[in-house]
């Protein structure tokens, strides 16, 4: 379900992380998540060791965290138009995976329109990737920012990420 500010919205049930209408992002394009559920996930911080062989470019999660702490969606692109959730999703795939989407069916709302202007859409995605490369190396979110949690399904399906607030440091 494409959301206005993310690739999709989802709910977490039966966990200390339980919440509704969370903004989610697919981590890579190798597997499909599907729409059936509920699913069981293992949860990781994007800054901890992730399961071996799951992602092609794990060293780029700092860049993804930087992107998701920016306000690209709705902002003007230097190449014209505005950035959408699709450009952000495309940039995440470009940084984490060894290939990007072929048809990109769900990167627009209404769905199925990305391929009509693919070069222009990919140019906007690359602007986000370049901004992350220029500004997001070694990015670690601090208080008042968000950190990506990686949800890895127990079944062989697409892993997803969503953002949670960085907790305030407790002062004794």
Percentage of the residues of the chain whose pLDDT score is greater than 70: 95
pLDDT score of 14: 82
Report pLDDT digits (tens) over 45-59. Answer: 999 999 999 999 999
Of 54, 126, 41, 134, which is closest to residue 92 (Cα–Cα)? 126
d(CA 9, CA 168): 26
Check whether 125 has a pLDDT greater than 60. yes
pLDDT score of 135: 98
Average pLDDT over residues 162-171: 83
Check whether 117 has a pLDDT greater than 70. yes
Q: Residue 65: helix, strand or coil by DSSP? A: helix
Percentage of the residues of the chain whose pLDDT score is greater than 90: 62
Check whether 97 has a pLDDT greater than 90. yes
Report pLDDT digits (tens) over 58-74. Answer: 999 999 999 999 999 99
DSSP codes, 5-38: TBSEEEEE-SSTT-EEEEEEEE--SSS---S---
Average pLDDT over residues 71-87: 95
Q: Residue 136: helix, strand or coil by DSSP? A: coil
pLDDT score of 115: 81
Local confidence band at 34 (pLDDT 50, 70, 90 cut-offs): confident
């Amino acid at each position: 379900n494409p959301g206005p500010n993310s690739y999709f919205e989802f709910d977490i049930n039966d966990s200390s992380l339980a919440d509704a209408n969370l903004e989610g992002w697919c981590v890579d394009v190798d597997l499909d998540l599907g729409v059936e559920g509920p699913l069981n996930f293992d949860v990781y911080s994007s800054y901890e060791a992730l399961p071996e062989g799951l992602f092609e470019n794990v060293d780029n999660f700092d860049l993804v965290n930087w992107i998701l702490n920016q306000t690209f969606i709705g902002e003007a692109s230097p190449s014209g138009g505005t950035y959408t959730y699709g450009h952000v999703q495309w940039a995440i795939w470009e940084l984490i995976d060894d290939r990007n989407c072929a048809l990109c069916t769900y990167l627009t709302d209404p769905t199925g329109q990305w391929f009509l202007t693919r070069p222009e859409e990919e140019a906007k995605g690359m602007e986000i990737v370049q901004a992350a490369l220029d500004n997001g190396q070694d990015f670690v979110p601090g208080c008042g920012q968000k950190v990506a949690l990686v949800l890895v399904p127990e079944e062989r399906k697409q892993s997803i990420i969503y953002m949670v607030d960085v907790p305030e440091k407790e002062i004794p």
